[in-house]
Structure 1
C-alpha cells in the first residue's frame, strides 16, 4: 500500500548537505511531495533530483530566511498551493559571514537572523500545516559546544537582544563565533520545542538536532562558504572535495563528504520515535552541559519577540 500523501520540506536543499539529503529522501518517499526552499535554485536542484530519482513531485520554492516578510509570504504560498500536510521538516539552511558584521533587511545581525530567528519564525508559521505525525530535524554543529574543542571560537550567548542587535564589544565578535552561537540557540530552541510538543494533545510531533558527524572535523563543498572570498570559495568547493581521501589520511580529525552527511541527515527522520535528542551522524550523543542548558532556555523564550 502506498503511504498517505505527505510533504517533505527542506530548507537549504539546493546544494551541499541539504541537496544530498533531499535526493535520498526523494528515493525513500516516492509518493510524497518534496519541497526544497532556498533563496535561489541556480543549480536547478529540483530538476536534478527529479532526473536522478525519477520522483516527479519535487519542487523549488524561493525562501529568504533573512527577510521576515518573505518568510511570511512563503508560508502563504504553501497554503495557496494546497500542499499536503508536512510530515518531515528539515531546518537545514545556514550562513556564515567571516568578513565583518552584516545585517538582515529587518536589522538583525545576519548570522543569528538567518540561522535562528528565520527558522524559528518559519516553523511557527508552518505549524498549522504539520501532519498529526510529524518529524522536525534541525541541523546543528559541534561548534555549539565548547567542550568539543572544534577550534571554532566558543559560542557566547548573552541575550537574544544582544545577538540580534549587538552593541559595544559584541560588535567585534568573529563571524565563526556568531555562527557557533546561532547553532547553540538552535539546539536550545529544539529542546524547548520537544518539551512543548509533549503537551499537545492528538499530535505525534518529534524534534531532534542533527550534526553531520564533525566533532571536530570538516565537510568541504557545502554552501556555508558562499560569503567568503573568491579564492577560499574556489578551494572549498572545487579543490577540497576531491582531496577527501587524502585528507582523511593526513588529518587528525574527521573529514566527511556532503554525500555521506546527506545520507545521514536523510536517515534521521526514520528514527521517528526519538525526540529531544542530538545526533552525531547516526549516533545519539550528549550535547551541551546541563548547566548551560538551564541558562539558555531564555533564548527560545526571546525568539518569538524578535520574529513577531
Structure 2
C-alpha cells in the first residue's frame, strides 16, 4: 500500500514539476511611455506584479482597490522599485455599483486617455451573501462590477484607440469556469451553490461577456480578450480558510505558478503586437487557447448581457453612448 502511494505521489510531483517548466513568460520589450493603464486589484498578488511591470515600462499606472492602506502602500512600492512617479491609487469597490460609478466618473473627468483596462480584481470564496445592491457578493465583485466598470469606460477607450494600435480590455478568467453551471435565474441566489462553483460561474460570465463585448465593439479600435492565469499561489486561496489557504499557496508556488508567473499571460496580452490584433479570444500560457463549450454559446452570452444590463441599472442613454 505504501509503495503504491509513493509511486502515485512521485508521479504527481514529476508531472507538476514538468508543468512548472512549461510556464510561459512574456518576452515583450515594449515601452509604454505616454500610455495610461488601469489595473483593478493592482495592489497585491498578480495585480501588483502586473502594475509594477507596466510602470517600469514608463506607463501612467492607475491601481484600484477598496483598501486605502493597501492602495497607498502599493503605490509607494511601485514608485520605489520602478522610479516611475506617475502611479496613482484610486478607491474602487467592485461590490458596490455606486463605487464603480464614482470611480468611472472620476476617470472620465481626470484622464484624457485610457490605453489598457486590466480587469484583474476578484475575490475567492469568502462568503455567500447578498450585497446592498441585491446581488451575490462573489458574482458582483468578480463579474457584475467589472461588467459595469468596463462599459462606463468604453467612451475613453474608444477615444484613445486608433487603427493599428487598438485600446485593450483584458478580463481575468480562470480554469474554474469549466466547472460552472449557467442557470441564469439562479446566478445570484444564496445558499444554493457550492461556493467553488459560484466562483466558477462568475468566471464563466466573464468569458461570455468578453465574447459578446468583442462582437459589439467590432470596428471600434478596441479589442477585448480573456486570460487564464493558471494555478498561481495568491492570497485568494485564503478567503475561506487561512491555514488551508497558506498550504495551498505554498503548494501552487512550488509546483504550478507563483504570482509573478501567473501575471505573465496578462502582460503578454497587454503588450504583444499580435495579441492587440485579435478580439474575443481566450489566452492561456501566453497563447490563444479554447475555453469551455458553455463559454462559446452565443445565445447564452446574449441573454447574460441583457440580464447584466438590467441588474447593474445601465440606462439606454449610457448604452448608446458606449456603442454609438
TM-score past 0.5 threshold: yes
Secondary structure of the structure 2 residue equivalent to 1:86: coil
Alpha-carbon offset, residue 226 of structure 1: 4.8
Give the structure 2 partner of residue 303 of structure 1. Answer: 308
Q: Per-residue CA shift, 1:49-91, capped at 9, x if unaligned?
A: 11111111011101000000111111122133x2131110001
Distance 1:183-1:206 versus aligned 2 partners, 3 A rule: same
**Kept after mapping to 1: 8 A contact 2:238/2:246:** no
**Kept after mapping to 2: 8 A contact 1:34/1:58:** yes
**Kept after mapping to 2: 8 A contact 1:156/1:177:** yes
2:288 to 266, 273, 284: 284
Secondary structure of the structure 2 residue equivalent to 1:60: strand
| 2:134 pairs with 1:86 | no
Instruction: Give the Cα–Cα distance (whole angstroms) in 1 for the partners of residues 93 and 259 of structure 2.
Output: 22
**Kept after mapping to 1: 8 A contact 2:204/2:295:** no
**Kept after mapping to 2: 8 A contact 1:14/1:41:** no
Instruction: Give the Cα–Cα distance (whole angstroms) in 2 for the partners of residues 24 and 9 of structure 1.
Output: 13
Give the structure 1 partner of residue 87 of structure 2. Answer: 58
How do residues 1-308 of structure 1 correspond to structure 2 at under 5 angstroms? 5-28=34-57, 30=58, 32-43=59-70, 44-80=73-109, 82-97=110-125, 99=127, 101-130=128-157, 131-132=160-161, 133-145=166-178, 154-159=179-184, 161-164=185-188, 166=189, 171-199=191-219, 203-212=220-229, 214=230, 218-220=231-233, 222-236=234-248, 240=250, 244-245=253-254, 248=255, 255-270=256-271, 271-289=275-293, 293-297=297-301, 298-308=303-313
Give the structure 1 partner of residue 13 of structure 2. Answer: none
Instruction: Compare the two structures and name the one with the higher strand fraction.
Output: 1
Alpha-carbon offset, residue 299 of structure 1: 1.1
Instruction: Compare the two structures and name the one with the higher helix fraction.
Output: 2
Secondary structure of the structure 2 residue equivalent to 1:156: coil
TM-score, normalised via structure 2 length: 0.78
